[in-house]
Chains A and B, each alone.
Chain A
Amino acid sequence: MVKNLMKQKYLWLFTLPALFVYSVFWIVPLIVNIPISFSKWNGLAALTRQDFIGLGNYSRLFQDKVFMLALQNNLVYTVLSAVFTLTLSLAVAFLLDRYVRFKGFFRTVWFFPNILPFIVVSYLWLWIYNPAFGLLNGLLDLLGLDHWVRMWLSDPKIALYSLIATSVWSHFPFYMLIFLAGLQDIPKELEEAAKIDGSNGWRVIWHIVLPHLRPILAIVVTLLIFDGFRVFELIYVMTNGGPGYHSTEVLATLMFKRGLLDLDFGYGSAISIFVTIFVMLIAAANFAFMFRADRRSR
């Protein structure tokens, strides 16, 4: 067996540095999460057997009103931002691919919101949404639409939706790019053949373009789901879970508060593991759905 390993020595030699850093600083924390989630620990004293409380943290999750609220908020956030981001990015990709001259230029310009560091996006929109001096209310005033003026981030009823709008603005260029790549991949002959056969614009899109985009759509939706449940900095910086009673609290911010600020590491770990499993299940379901529909059409 040693001889076998010696034959592989270069493989291991070359991968060892990367393997070491990756395992210690990414995989080990991932795995250690599990026993910690089964215990109650404040991180100060060493972890002893008495600290293990089994599924205590997990059962607490379902009784915790704030957790349920965070879960609900996160679901709303994910679904709405996914739907709007998907629609907008797909529409813009079409626009860019078919109807726009100077594609390169506009692609660069429209991608711009995506390169901004999140701290910039958050602070910028914090100011845009400012009820008294911000850009949005000022614009509405200017256009005579002052009955649409709102307290965008201070009103618990609409704060979450304001955040969703910011998220869509920031993320749609990324997915636009992906769809654009997919659209440019479609062989022109297919569309021309369909046009010759008499289909007009919309039918071509429905029967040729969209099926071609299906794998990309599946990936995009999965990524959007991941993005939605991972959201942290946007909310942390702009509203930190407020205003009011956790009206914009999401899973990541709650985990941050309970785990790192309250020093309830066990509970924080339990939240993070719950979120992971939850998201993986949704992503798997999404994938299965996308590919089952594929098989039916054959």
Chain B
Amino acid sequence: MKIKSWIWKIMMLLATGILTIISLVPIIWLYMSSLKSTGELFINRWSWPKRIAWENYTTAWNKGNIDLFFMNSVIVTLASIFAMVFLGALAAFAISKYTQFKSGFYLFLFFLLGQMVPAQIVVITLYLILNKLHLLNSYQGLVLVYVASGLPFVILVLQGFFRGIPRELYEAATIDGYSEGKLFLRIALPMASPAVATTLIIQFKYVWNEFMLALVINSAGQKLTLPVGIYRAAVTQYSTDYGVAFAGISIALLPMMVFYIIFQRFILKGIAAGAVKG
């Protein structure tokens, strides 16, 4: 069953081309379409817009309230990732350092449990609990939920890195008078900064794009995050004004794209490393 090598090479080339096309064309088409007025969208599917309809973007930003949703997402995402990484690092540090106690191991298992829990099982009861605590439709409620859901992953990854820190470093510093807290802040954290950065980035992707929890918890009022807001706007207000809807989607997409282009090394490495280790 010998295939001539040049046929093989051509097939590989074709595969490469097709993959690149299907990866990029939909998004390119999205951006092209977002710059066409809705009317033009129906006549001209393929080529460059005859007239660039910037007003799609301004309408989406202003009337569609996208500026509000964008800001909400920024606040919620940044607060969530920094909180979860800091708290997670603290816990991971303790779990990896105080291995002489069995409780550390049980704590670790307890956190690991949450990694397997999909949002589906908790969303209903979360809604009820947050309702009782008057934390629905707020920043705090959603952030707390994201932190809780993201902690297992952060702890899982960071404790692995912290374990690699040699004990002698801690011992020497303790002799020098460092408190435990200082050991964490001045030694452990800086040494694990690549892992911390990767975790921040991966969790940014998670929180920024998250839809279901945001939909349920912040469903009314002013605190909608971007994914939910876009959904509402695209499906309700602008269900017929496709040009504006596309512009809105493109705006939602932009931070993630920029983020990806800048940090793609980290993201790709982080996912691959996490998977192989796990």
With A8-B98, A14-B93 in contact, do A95 and B120 touch (Cβ < 8 Å)?
no
Across the interface, A26 reaches (CB within 8 A) one of B104, B148, B246, B260, namely B148
Beyond A109-B20, A118-B209, A233-B211, is A127–B149 a contact (Cβ under 8 Å)?
no
Interface residue? B57 (CB, 8 A): no
- Whether B121 contacts A30 by the Cβ 8 Å rule is yes
A21 lies within 8 A of B45 (CB): no
User: How far does the alpha carbon of A38 sit from the alpha carbon of B141 in the complex, in Å?
Assistant: 27
A178 to B274, CA, bound (A): 9
- Contact between chains at B98 and A117 (CB < 8 Å): no
Binary interface profile of A, 143-179, with partner B (CB < 8 Å = 1, else 0)?
0000000000000000000000000010001100110
B125–A119 CB distance below 8 A = no
Partner of A99 from the list B12, B22, B127, B235 (CB cut-off 8 Å) is: B12
- Pick from A50-58, A75-83, A189-197, A266-274 the stretch touching chain B: A266-274
B260 x A32 contact (CB < 8 A): no
Cross-chain contact A117 with B272 (CB below 8 angstroms): no
A289 at the interface (CB under 8 A from B): no
> Do residues A15 and B20 form an inter-chain contact, with CB atoms below 8 A?
no
What are the residues of chain B within 8 A of A32 when measuring CB–CB?
125, 128-129
Are A33 and B151 touching (Cβ within 8 A)? no
Check if A275 is an interface residue, CB within 8 A of chain B: yes
**Can you name the residue of chain A whose Cβ is closest to the Cβ of B250?**
A120
Which of B42, B127, B212 contacts A232 (CB under 8 A)? B212
Q: A29-B122, A115-B267 are in contact. List 13 more A-B contacts (CB 8 A).
A: A10-B180, A14-B94, A14-B180, A21-B87, A43-B131, A100-B16, A106-B19, A116-B27, A128-B26, A135-B29, A178-B276, A181-B276, A237-B231
- B256 near A116: Cβ-Cβ < 8 Å: yes
Give the total of A residues in contact with B, Cβ under 8 Å.
81
Q: B61 contacts the other chain (Cβ, under 8 Å)?
A: no
Q: B177 an interface residue at 8 Å Cβ cutoff?
A: no
Instruction: Name which of A61-69, A204-212, A252-260, A290-298 contacts chain B.
Output: A252-260
**Complex contacts, B46 vs chain A, CB 8 Å:** 138
Q: Which residues of A contact B76 (CB under 8 A)?
A: none
A124 at the interface (CB under 8 A from B): yes
CA distance A233 to B227 in the complex (A): 10
Q: Which residue of A lies closest to B118 (CB)?
A: A230
A232 touches B26 (CB 8 A): no
Give the contacts of B27-44 with A (CB-CB under 8 A): 27, 29-30, 33, 41-42
Interface segment, B48-56, B107-115, B189-197?
A: B107-115
In whole angstroms, what is the CA distance A92 to B22 when docked?
Answer: 13
Known A-B contacts A25-B147, A124-B249; the reply to A276 vs B121 at CB < 8 A is: yes
Do A119 and B227 have beta carbons less than 8 Å apart?
yes
User: Hey, which chain A residues are within 8 Å of B268, CB to CB?
Assistant: 107-108, 111, 177
Query: Is B220 located at the chain interface by the 8 A CB criterion?
Result: no
Q: Contact at A117–B121, with CB atoms within 8 Å? A: no
A125 surroundings in chain B (CB, below 8 A)? 26
Q: Given the complex, which residues of B lie within 8 Å of A133, measured CB to CB?
A: 41-42, 45
Q: Are B275 and A116 in contact (CB under 8 A)?
A: no
- Which A1-34 residues sit within 8 Å CB-CB of chain B? 7-8, 10-15, 17-19, 21-22, 24-30, 32-33
Kindly state the separation between the CA atoms of A124 and B216 in the bound complex, as whole angstroms: 23
Q: Mark A260-292, 1 if CB is under 8 A from B, else 0.
A: 100001001100110110000000000000000
Enumerate 5 A-B pairs (CB-CB under 8 Å) in ascending A order. A15-B94, A26-B149, A33-B122, A180-B272, A272-B123
Say whether B103 faces chain A, with CB atoms less than 8 Å apart. Answer: yes
Assess the B124–A27 pair: CB atoms within 8 A. Answer: no
> Considering the complex of A and B, which 9 residue pairs feature the smallest CB-CB distances, nearest first?
A14-B94, A25-B148, A181-B272, A29-B125, A117-B209, A26-B148, A18-B91, A18-B87, A29-B122
A120 touches B231 (CB 8 A): no
A213 to B209, CA, bound (A): 30
Tell whether A226 is near chain B: CB-to-CB under 8 Å. yes
